[in-house]
Structure formats: structure tokens, C-alpha cells
Amino acid sequence: MSRAAKVVAALQVDEMTERQARAEHKRLADEIAHHDKLYHEKDDPEISDAEYDRLRQRLKAIEARFPQLVDMFSPTQKVAPTPTTAFAKVRHAKPMLSLDNAFTDEELQGFLDRVRRGLERETDLKPDAEIALSCEAKIDGLSISLRYEDGVFVQGATRGDGSTGEDVTANLKTIKDIPQKLKGKDVPKAFDVRGEVYMERNAFMELNARQVAAGEKAYVNPRNTAAGSLRQLDPEITARRPLRFFAYAWGEAEPRAWKTHSEYLKLLKEWGFKINPLTKLCRTADDVRAFYRKIGEERPSLPYDIDGVVYKVDRIDWQERLGFVSRAPRWAIAHKFPAEQARTRLKGIFIQVGRTGALTPVADLEPINVGGVVVARATLHNADEIERLDVREGDMVIVQRAGDVIPQVLGFVPEERPKKTEKFHFPTKCPCPLKTPVKSEEGGVVRRCSGGLECPFQQVERLRYFVSRNCFDIEGLGGTHIENFFNDGLLKIPGDIFRLPGKKDLIRKREGWGDLSVNNLIKAIEDRKTISLDRFINALGIPLIGEATAKIMAQEYGDVDDWLAEMLKAAKERKKAPDDVKKEKAVAEVGESYGRLCNVEQIGVTTADAIAAFFSEGHNVEIIRDLRKQLTVEAVKRRAVAADALLKDKIVVFTGELSSMTRDAAKARAEELGAKVTDSVSKKTSLVVVGENAGSKARKAAELGVQTMTEEEWVKLSR
């Protein structure tokens, strides 16, 4: 992070200018998207739930003050990343949404007040009337939807992005808590049961003991292990994992006989489902708080992990009146628990090298059980964090774990520090065999190996990223295989992956590789020789370019050869320009291609400079050209716009809250009418559509004399 970005990150939201808010909004969105991928797709998070929640809270605060920054790419508008391609996709009959969170008693009271105001507005509820809430412990597992027709289990899917999930029916059929045929009365003819797949703590510990005894890597925690077990391509592997299931909600239900959530839970038990016994109907705010405290006290002794309590308005008709906002219902909320902590001895600190060369210090700990998870390592983030904490080998340290994530070290216990300890000195040379110098970026927060792609650690990590799910997604070529192939000289650069079919005889001779596994690998590689432009861009690992930005770039440039030519031109133009190019200056003065790059949505000067630096390195360009010889990169199909389109060549901006449609739907309709939708107002803007609680964009439009219209006028125009 640059010095300027660090300053903005330290600002309170109400101190920010719109430009500072835009920069911080982008940084937070990118960081949240990165952690979403790790959590939902790889089951391998790297920050705590509490840290993640703080990121989302700050993003929401910025969007509340600057609603014009909300767009389709914001994490607040999404449920989870797009499902992966390892399983068939399943479209949910009704979306599986996530919940908003409350972290304090004040935030809980805010939820209760909003519910009451909403019901008083939407119904004839009297001010002193009782609002019953169904309260239940929040299971820390993997959300699942089960489809039943005529009482028979026919299909099961993960939540995915909320609209589309992964078909894991065969694996779900191995879980004993999921009935294959329902019993009892009033079973809907067709309906979806929603719930959570989880693993109990003792079962997880026993599974890990077997892993270690077999010389295999121990799993991190029950939630990730449950998620990974359910995503096994072989159901027999899933069957060997001790998975459990709690049911707690529904999706589509025809016909629906129940009128309250608590009534539905009773029916679930009659039909043969397990429901969480830690469930209670609370009729007052005091009862709700007492239940939260009680569950919090019982949490350490429970057989499974929970990370909070969920409150739902019990009456279904009231739920329907309250409705939804963005990605969550207005009638429910998750009240999260504070982070769990424990003390253990720090055995040492070692350095890991990532695909971008960043050196990350990791704490090697004496294993300790924190909330049912055995913790042996924790990230120390960077050199500044070690300096701030002043943790040393031999220290007794305080470890915090929130939910199901890799823990963080909060500090050391002074009175238990050994007499002779030495401060940790961050290495000046990379621990890779080349021992190349370590360089600090501006501000000194991140320190990187200067070896670039010559560094074997970086080469392996880049190859791992290249074949990962959101990139080329090559099944059967996991991280261990990548490392082994690299060490033995079968792989060095990404293009070598597509030369592996010519080396199948060598692979077949390796331990653990038979005819079937080799043939499956070759087929998986061949299947990926045609790739979309956005996945191709994302797989290259260009600094600051993730999945969302890669999609935007693909839309902007359309064709891989045009994109490559423009990136090379932009890199040459930037190399000749002064180092202090800023947004205030006309970036077009640097060069036409560089200026165009800077003005692509979600790409500013900082990201453009990172891209230019990447394409200034000859070996990066050679890697891309090598891949181009072996792959078919699909061009982006752009929507054709009729010559007489109503808004052809017009520039449209939406600001404020839209009540009759989502922002995404409004933008999509504007594009169908031929308009280009942007996020900022300028003299070139043709039209600004003003919703409720509009901010500075509406004022700026008035100042510049740009045409504005209300949401109602826009609906009439766009019909």
C-alpha cells in the first residue's frame, strides 16, 4: 500500500472527500473479494472473521455516506463468489441470501428498532405490541439446499453465489442426518430445505489424528474440512468423513402449511430432520439478550463450532412484509460472538514467499486448541507488524481466533518472557536458493524478493495460481503436483503445463501416477486450451489485477491481441513519463494507450502503473506470447447496439437508492438502450438518474447543467 493509500485507510469515513472514499472503496472491495475467494472457494481463509467483518463494516459505512460508489462489483451487492466448475451448476428456485451482522448490543437494538418501525409502517402493529423472534445458535459450517419432490430427496446444492450453486447430491446422500425419504404429515409436494453441513469437534480431532498417523497434512479446522469433504469428486471419500447436518430454513415450498418459523422447525423434526437444539422463541428484547449470553457461556463446551446467534422474526407474513435489502433479509440478523483467545509458546518465526515475491513472516506455535481447532501457525503479516508486536522466539503469546480462520497473534505476555531473547530481524535476502536481495516498497510495509520470476518460490506459487479455480481451473494438477513437477524440471513456466501431454510417459513412471490419473490429467489440460479472455488475464497474476478487474479489462479491450498490444504501448508510454504522474494531471498526456488504461473502470494510476511495470519486464511478455502459441483465447462478444437506439452514445450516471429495481438492472437496461454507464459526473455526462438519498453526484450535475431525472421518469423512459 502506498503512503497516500495508508493515509486514506487511516481516515474516519466522515473525514473523507469523495475521491479519497473512491480510492478506499476500491481497496476494500479488492481485499474483500480476495478473502471471499479464499473462504468460499478454497476453504482456506487467511484473516479472522472479526478482521473480515471490520472490512465489510468500513465498506458499508463508505457506501452509506457516498451511495454513488455502490456498483455491481461491490461486495455488498453479492452473496459469495461465483460457483466453481468442478460440479454441475444448480439454479436455486429461490435465492440463498446471507445475513447482516450485529457485533454490539447497540447494533442489535438498532435491528430490533428497524423491525418495529418497518412493521408499524407495513402493518397495523401497535407501538407496544409483542414481536416474537425465533433465536438459534449460528452453526459454523457450509450452507446447503436440499430439494425434495413427493417427499423424496432428489437434489442438493451449495449456496454458491446465492443464485447458482454446485450440485453435490451424491455426496450429500452419504450424510446420515439427511433423510432420503421424509415421513410424517403436511410434507409439501415440492420444496427446498436449507441448512448447514458441519463436523463435530471430536470427530475433527480424530480425523486429524488419523491424518498425522498416516504422514498426511493435518486439516485446519472443522468448517473448512467439512466444506472440502463435501466438494470431493469421489462420494466414497465424503462417506468416510464424519459430516453432520442441521436444517433451519426453506426456499421454495409448494404448498406451505406453516405460518411461523418456530412451527416450521417442529415440522422439520416430524419429517425426520435434525434441528439445532439450541433454539428458543424469545418475546422481548431482554429475553433475546439473555439467550445470547447463555449460548455464549455454553459455547466452549458444545460439541460443534458456533460463531453467533441468529434472530428471525417468527411470523412468516411479517417476514414477507419486511422483505429484503441488497443481499440480506430485513427480518433476520446474525449476532456474532467476540473472538476467542488462548495462550501458547512461540517456537520460532519463519518466512514464506508468495507469488508476487512478498515475504510473509509466520509464527510457529506450540499447538493449542482454540475453540475446537488445533492452532500451530499464525501469520504475522509483515515486518511492521512484528516490530509493533515485538514478539520473540520463546515468548508466551496471545492467539486470537474468530470463527473458523487462521488465527492472529495479538501480543506477548511480558511476565512470561524468557530472560534471554532476541528481537526478530527481518531478512535482507530471500530464503530461496538464489538468496536475492529483499526490497521494500514505498512505506516499507511489504518487502519482496527482487529475484522476480527467477525466484523458484515465486515460480511455484505463480504456477499454483495459474491452475487455480478462477484461472485455468485444471483439475488434477494441485499444489503438491505443481511443486513436485517443478522440482523435477517438468514445469518452469505456465506454457510448460500445455506441453505436459507430450511427457505423459515420464509422468506415468512417477509414484502415485497410473494410466487413469495420467489420462485424466491430460484430458483436463486439453480441455483448457480454449479459455475466456478474462480468465486468461486473471491467470497471469498481474499485480493488483484480480477476477473482477480482469473481467472489466476483457470487456474494454475485447480481443487478446488488441489487449496485449495496448498493454505494451501503455508500458512504453509510462516508462518515458515522469515518476510523479497523478490523476490531477491529464494521464492522456503520458500517451493515448496509458490514458485509456487509467480510465478503465476500477483502474486508476496506481493499478495502471503496476500493469505497465509488469509489461515492461521482457520475461513476462515472453510467457504471454508462449501461451498465445498454444491456446485459443476467446474474444469478448459485445452487445450490438441498434443505430436508432434511444440512448446510443449517451453517457448515463445513476446516483442514490433505486426502489423499483436494482442498480445492476438499471445499468443493464441503459446499456441495452445504447448508453455507456459510468460512475462519475463530468461535462461529458448526458444524463444523471437521481434516486433517494442522492449525494454529491446530483449536486455536481446541477452545477454543470447536466440533465437529471427521477427514478420514476427513468422507468417511463426505459420501458
CA separation (Å) from 639 to 123, 531, 604? Answer: 44, 20, 26
> Alpha helices, DSSP H only, in 216-370?
222-230, 235-239, 261-271, 285-298, 316-322
Hey, what amino acid is at 74?
A: S
Residue with cell 529475484: 451
629 is annotated as an active-site residue: no
Element (DSSP H or E) covering residue 316: helix 316-322
CA separation (Å) from 367 to 166, 300, 404? Answer: 35, 18, 16
Q: Are 479 and 464 in contact (CB under 8 A)?
A: yes
The catalytic position among 60, 78, 138, 667 is 138
- On the CB side of 677, CA atoms within 13 Å amount to 17
CA distance 262 to 331: 14
Q: Go through 656-676 and write b for each residue having 16 or more CB atoms within 10 A of its CB, e for each that does not.
A: bebeebebeebbebbbebbbe
Number of neighbours of residue 387 by Cβ within 10 angstroms: 13
Q: Are 318 and 119 in contact (CB under 8 A)?
A: yes
Closest C-alpha among 259, 266, 295 to residue 278:
295
- Bridge-partner residues for 91, per DSSP? 164
∠ at Cα 183 (179, 186), nearest 5°? 120
What 3-state class would DSSP assign to 445? coil
Q: How many residues does the chain have?
A: 719
302: its cell numbers: 458444545
∠ at Cα 600 (678, 357), nearest 5°? 135
User: Which amino acids are annotated catalytic?
Assistant: 138
